[in-house]
Chains A and B, each alone.
Chain A
Amino acid sequence: MRQVFVSPRYFSAADILIFLLLGACIYGIIAIGAQWQADYHPVTEIDLSIGALPRYALFSAMRGLVAYILSLAFTLVVGYSAAKSKKAERIIIPLIDILQSIPVLGFLPGLVLGLIALFPKTNLGLELAAIIMIFTGQVWNMTFSFYSSLKSLPSDYSEASKIMGLTWWQKFWRLEMPFSSVNLVWNSLMSMAGGWFFLSVSEAFTLGEREYRIPGVGAYMAVAISKSDTGAMLNGIIAMVCIIFVLDTFIWHPILSWVRRFRLEDVPGIAPEEPLMTLAIRESRFIRLVKVFYRRYLVRKRTRTELPEKSIPLPRMIGLTTRETRKIWNSSVKYVEPILWVVAIGIVGAGFMRLVNILLNVDGETWIYLLSATGFTFLRVVGALALSSLWAVPVGIWIGLSAKRIAVAQPIIQIFASFPAPMLYPLALAIFISLGMSLDWSSMFLMMLGVQWYVLFNVLAGALKISQELGDSLNLMKNSHWDRWTTLYLPSVFPSLVTGWVTAAGGAWNASIVAEYISYQGKTLAAKGLGAAISTAAGKPDFNLLAASLTLMIIVVLVLNQTLWDKLYKLAQSRYRMDAL
């Protein structure tokens, strides 16, 4: 079955596929360009017919990709700086930790109003707002992964490149980028999924009395929900699955299979099956032609630069020795650095004072309400995690124990996990309400809808590491099934389970914003909880309340990270680590 495309004499199915994709990309770029430049039009009429969907899907996908390119640029610059400079590291890493726990939705009102003021004539402001919302869902994870990859580069390699005298540019492209690429691409795939989470909200939202809507699958879903059109909702869901599937198949998997060559452990392993797109690229006559032309260009370029092109650093060109350059650099750093610090501290301090000022405006009654709401949301988060674990742990272990089951289940789970759960909320809510549950209870199940996959995914990965030998020895000793689960399976997956919990808890806090505050059959339902408080405040918009509830959520998430999760994580790493044997 591997040879899908027969080697072509002229053009083949592979080429048609590639032309289709290229065409879609070009059309997408033109269409989105036209949409951005079009006259300011805050409420797009959404056509609920099926024929309109491909265009909407294209718009949403392009937004995701543009956001991804921004995320990638941010990751490369910021992640690199953090890994290379101790000073930058001390600022950037805690900052990312905080930004990661900020529910992005809270910034929507300010962002939208600001950007519309900036581009009053066109749709660019609204579009940018949507893209930035998606960007914030993607970027933190990527930056952090890139940073830790760079930090884990074995010292021998950086020593070798130093001795060779590689410039930082050469070192980056020949060593650091290939080394971190596997992690970066894998993370990109996951982060893309994270970016879709708030797609609906970023494409269609209400601020005070005003409605805003830009064409896309998210807006389509929002309209379908407000009109209670179940058929259209299902179409929207299918369109979203298609976006995820197409991006995975045609972008991420080929890249992933390509970057596998950049793994450091050079074990001669079995090559994993090539994804469809990789085959298509290899078999395509068109791609081959492009390659041939590119090679010719390279050869011509090379023969042209026959002269030595020794790169002389700028300081040396103006007659400074290395030591003098160093001195100048050091002394300028000495003078400039304190100034930068003063400016930075000033800005942060002013922002902090302003925040304190706002928070002081919030009265005691509101604080008491918010605190009890935080308690409710906390209970929901814990409940969602517990319920998810209850089914996902045994199922994950069961799947992970068999290679056959993994092969079948993994791609399906990945699509499920990538799907933005908020799009399913109205449908799910209809079921819960028909079962007689209030939103206070339903919202916990809604939160679970999105986060259970993190648990399942991680447990599955952990189950792959269950020791065959330990299982065999339990068999020989004739231990019961119970013993097998309690002494082998559960402890083996525990470290992965903790990782899953941490991710899921973060997702659940974030999800509370949309799960506790929902438009349902033309009405807006709100549960008692911190997420609902944030949504209410953002919708009005009431900036005092918004600041108070956001601050509260950030503090709670950070405190939980530093205490509960950190402790569990350390326990998992010390006691339940398999390779410690």
Chain B
Amino acid sequence: MSTPRIELKNVSKNYVLESGNEIKVLNGVNFSVASEDVIALLGPSGSGKSTCLRIMCGLLEQSSGEVLANGQPLLGTNYDVALVFQSFALFPWETVYTNIELALRPVGISPHEMRARVKKAIDLVGLEGFEEAYPRELSGGMKQRVGIARALVMERPILFLDEPFSALDVLTADTLRWEIVNIWHSKNTSVQTLVLVTHNIQEAVYMAKKILVMGTNPGHIRSEIVNDLPYPRDDKDPNFRRMVTKIHDLITETYMPDAPTASATAVTSGATTIQPKIVREPPIETLPNVQISDVIGIVEVIFDQGGRADIFELALKIGKDFGTTLYMVKAAELLDLVDTPRHNVILTELGKRFAEGDINSRKRVLHELFGALKIVQLSSNLLRTEESLRVPIDTLETRVGEWLPNENPHQIVETLIAWGRFAEYFGYNDDTKEVYLDVGQEPTV
């Protein structure tokens, strides 16, 4: 076997937050990209897939581990790679033609050859007639065509696509997906290898030969799935669907294990004895970064469907992508409002009562469920150490950072306050920057 084009060996990446805390976004990633490969990095936001891509481009440096390009350690930018951006990253003051031509400026070829290559790229993506247009005159789909043409014109062997279709409407995305696969498959261009970053399962199955499913906290590779369906692929083909379901199940299992790790009942702990390293069991839950109103919304939708729903259909029904839907369901599960056997979502008794109630009875239920969370108890214990029942938000953030060393404490505290306000559990004053315990601890009815 020939040397892989790119190889990651035990690559990790850390960031230092403003607060000085270090956060790990990528942990021990191993994989290799061979020539002729089409690889999809699939995962929800926060799984480090874009970070991974940028490390392979040489735009970011790994904190530890090794990155090899053609067998050699990668130093600086990887010039085997062309990159297509989610935001297109077109220069608004350049025309379609000059935007593409710009990529050839550093190459040093004759004007004649330059024109020929730009023309060919324009031809490949079907932009003829738009040469003199400025990006602002184009629709999103046409803009991304310019982005693709700019990548193709460089004639690099590897094409990286960073969520290339996320900013486009469904129909345009479908067409472009087909065209990209065609460009790769036809072997008419320099592109031999595709690496795609996406959170869309269908997209990954449609395009990739190898799907790397990534997980969060910190970002890592969950599993590697070989997808050997023949090209061109058809999303109505039963084998295609089977593959999609397989990945769905895998992700569902990852994010919503059938045996819940965080038991939402009977967790008590003294405030003074908490030592983050000793307190292992039961683990402190992290709060998914979800609006509480979204959680209530999803419970209502499930209730309307008779208290049971399939998570993929749920995602379609509420018009959110699968990852976001998963987070909402996960949040509902954390609060014990739903159960999730495999990829079904079923309302618990509590969830049903919750859905039937009015705003005040809902708040009462939430108050109780929210209060049962370990992280909430730890936080309220912290607040109780002060006579005023108030602590500066920074203090809480520091403590949360100790309890959950792999998380972004700022985000967790934000969610904690947002949920806590709704449940009438915590309050927050932005002028004094203090979090306080809602007095009485009983919702005012």
Contacts and interface: CB of A to CB of B under 8 A. Distances in A.
Interface of A: 154, 156-157, 159-160, 162-167, 170, 174-175, 178, 261-268, 302, 306-311, 322-323, 326, 574-575
A306 B59 contact: no
B136 A160 contact: no
B87 A156 contact: yes
B444 to A, nearest CB: 26
Contacts of B137: 268
A163 B108 contact: no
A266 B112 contact: no
Nearest to A264: B92
Given A175-B91, A263-B92, A159 B59 contact: yes
B135 interface: yes
B194 to A, nearest CB: 15
Contacts of A156: 85, 87, 89
A222 B45 CA distance: 67
Contact of A261 (B54, B93, B154): B93
A167 B105 CA distance: 9
Nearest to A170: B105
Contacts of A165: 77, 79, 106-107
Contacts of B111: 302, 306
A574 B430 contact: yes
A178 B99 CA distance: 14
Among B89, B109, B111, B430, the most chain A Cβ lie within 10 Å of the Cβ of B89
B108 A262 contact: no
Interface string B48-63: 0000001001010000
A263 B136 CA distance: 11
A175 B87 CA distance: 16
Contact of B93 (A160, A170, A262): A262
Given A157-B91, A166-B105, 5 more contacts: A159-B57, A162-B59, A162-B77, A164-B102, A262-B92
B75 interface: yes
A302 B111 CA distance: 7
Contacts of A268: 136-137
24 contacts: A156-B89, A157-B91, A159-B54, A159-B83, A159-B89, A160-B85, A160-B89, A160-B150, A162-B59, A162-B77, A163-B81, A163-B82, A163-B83, A164-B102, A164-B103, A165-B107, A166-B105, A170-B105, A170-B106, A178-B91, A264-B92, A306-B111, A308-B109, A311-B106
The B contact surface, by secondary structure, is loop
Contacts of B89: 154, 156-157, 159-160
Given A160-B83, A163-B81, A163-B83, A322 B76 contact: yes
Interface string B414-440: 000000000000000011000000000
Contacts of A307: 110
B76 A163 contact: no
Nearest to B151: A163
Nearest to A269: B136
A518 to B, nearest CB: 45
A308 B110 contact: yes
A261 to B, nearest CB: 5
B136 to A, nearest CB: 3
A174 B79 contact: no
A263 B94 CA distance: 11
Given A268-B137, A574-B430, A166 B106 contact: yes
Nearest to B431: A575
9 cross-chain pairs, A with B, having the tightest CB-CB distances, nearest first: A310-B108, A266-B136, A156-B89, A266-B92, A165-B106, A160-B89, A164-B103, A262-B93, A163-B83
A160 B102 CA distance: 11
A179 to B, nearest CB: 9
Contacts of A326: 75
Contacts of A574: 430
Nearest to A263: B92
Contacts of A323: 75
B134 interface: yes
Q: Which of B83, B106, B154 has the most A CB atoms < 10 Å from its CB?
A: B106
Contacts of A170: 105-106
A84 to B, nearest CB: 16
A167 B106 contact: yes
A156 B57 CA distance: 13
Nearest to A310: B108
Nearest to B94: A174
Contacts of A162: 59, 77
B57 A174 contact: no
B252 to A, nearest CB: 32
Given A156-B87, A159-B54, A266-B134, A164 B154 contact: yes
A317 to B, nearest CB: 14
B83 A178 contact: no
A307 B94 CA distance: 26
B57 A163 contact: yes
A322 B75 CA distance: 9
A159 B150 CA distance: 14
A156 B91 CA distance: 11
Contacts of B76: 322
A309 B108 contact: yes
A174 B108 contact: no
Contacts of B79: 165
A267 B136 contact: yes
Nearest to A171: B106
A574 B92 CA distance: 32
B108 A308 contact: yes
Contacts of A306: 110-112
A175 B105 CA distance: 13
Q: Give the residue among A159, A167, A311 with the most B Cβ atoms within 10 A.
A: A159
Given A157-B89, A263-B92, A174 B136 contact: no
A267 B137 CA distance: 9
Given A267-B136, A309-B108, A174 B102 contact: yes
Contacts of B87: 154, 156
A162 B93 CA distance: 19
Nearest to A302: B111
Q: Which of B75, B105, B135 has the most CB of A within 10 A?
A: B105
A265 B136 CA distance: 9
Contacts of B59: 159, 162-163
A174 B106 contact: no
A6 B28 CA distance: 70
Contacts of A157: 89, 91
A505 to B, nearest CB: 25
Nearest to A159: B59
Contacts of A311: 106, 108
Contacts of A163: 57, 59, 77, 81-83, 154
A262 B109 CA distance: 28
Interface string B116-139: 000000000000000000111100
A167 B106 CA distance: 7
A310 B109 CA distance: 7
A164 B156 CA distance: 10
A196 B399 CA distance: 55
A308 B110 CA distance: 5
Given A164-B103, A164-B154, A309-B108, A174 B81 contact: no
Contacts of A264: 92
Nearest to A306: B110
Nearest to A309: B108
A178 B106 contact: no
Nearest to A157: B89
A164 B106 contact: yes
A165 to B, nearest CB: 4
B401 to A, nearest CB: 23
A311 B83 CA distance: 23
Nearest to B138: A266
B195 to A, nearest CB: 13
A174 B89 CA distance: 13
Nearest to B433: A574
Nearest to A571: B431
Contacts of A261: 93
A178 B109 CA distance: 25
